[in-house]
Amino acid sequence: MADWNPENYLRHADERSRPFADLLARVPGSPRTIIDLGCGPGHLTRLLRHRWPGAEVVGVDSSPAMIDRARRDDPDGTYQLADLRGFEPPAPLDLVLSNATLQWVPEHRTLLPRLTSMVAPGGSFAFSVPGNHDAPSHTILREVAAREPYRDLTTSVARPSAFDPEQYLDDLAHPGWSVDAWETTYLHVLQGEDPVFTWIAATGARPVLDALPAPLRDDFTTDLQEALRAAYPARPYGTPLAFRRVFAVATRV
Burial class (CB in 10 A: 0-12, 13-18, 19+), 73: middle
- Report yes or no on 205 lying in a domain: yes
The answer to whether residue 215 sits within a structural domain is yes
119-130 sheet: strands from edge to edge? 78-81, 56-61, 33-37, 93-99, 119-130, 239-252, 177-190
> Do residues 252 and 218 lie in contact, with contact meaning Cβ atoms separated by under 8 Å?
no
Q: Which residues of 119-138 are buried (b: 16+ CB within 10 A; e: fewer)?
A: bbeebbbbbbbbbbbebbbb
Give the Cα separation of 148 and 107 in Å (integer): 29
Q: By the 8 A CB rule, do 49 and 80 touch? A: no
Which phi and psi (to 5°) does residue 70 adopt? -60, -45
pLDDT at 202: 87
The answer to whether position 65 is within a domain reads yes
Q: Which of 126, 117, 92 is nearest to 249 (CA)?
A: 126
Q: Does 169 fall in a domain?
A: yes
| CATH number for the domain harbouring residue 132 | 3.40.50.150
| Each residue's pLDDT tens digit, 105-162 | 999 999 999 999 999 999 999 999 999 999 999 999 999 999 999 999 999 898 889 9
- What domain range includes position 59? 6-252
Distance, CA of 40 to CA of 45 (rounded, Å): 9
pLDDT value, residue 15: 80
pLDDT digits (tens, 9 = 90+) for 157-178: 988 899 999 999 999 999 999 9
Element holding 121 (H helix, E strand): strand 119-130
Q: Is residue 86 part of a domain?
A: yes
Does residue 69 lie within any of the structural domains?
A: yes
In a domain? residue 233: yes
* Residue 1: inside a domain: no
pTM for the predicted model, two decimal places:
0.92
59-76 per-position pLDDT tens digit: 999 999 999 999 999 999
Number of domains the chain is built from: 1
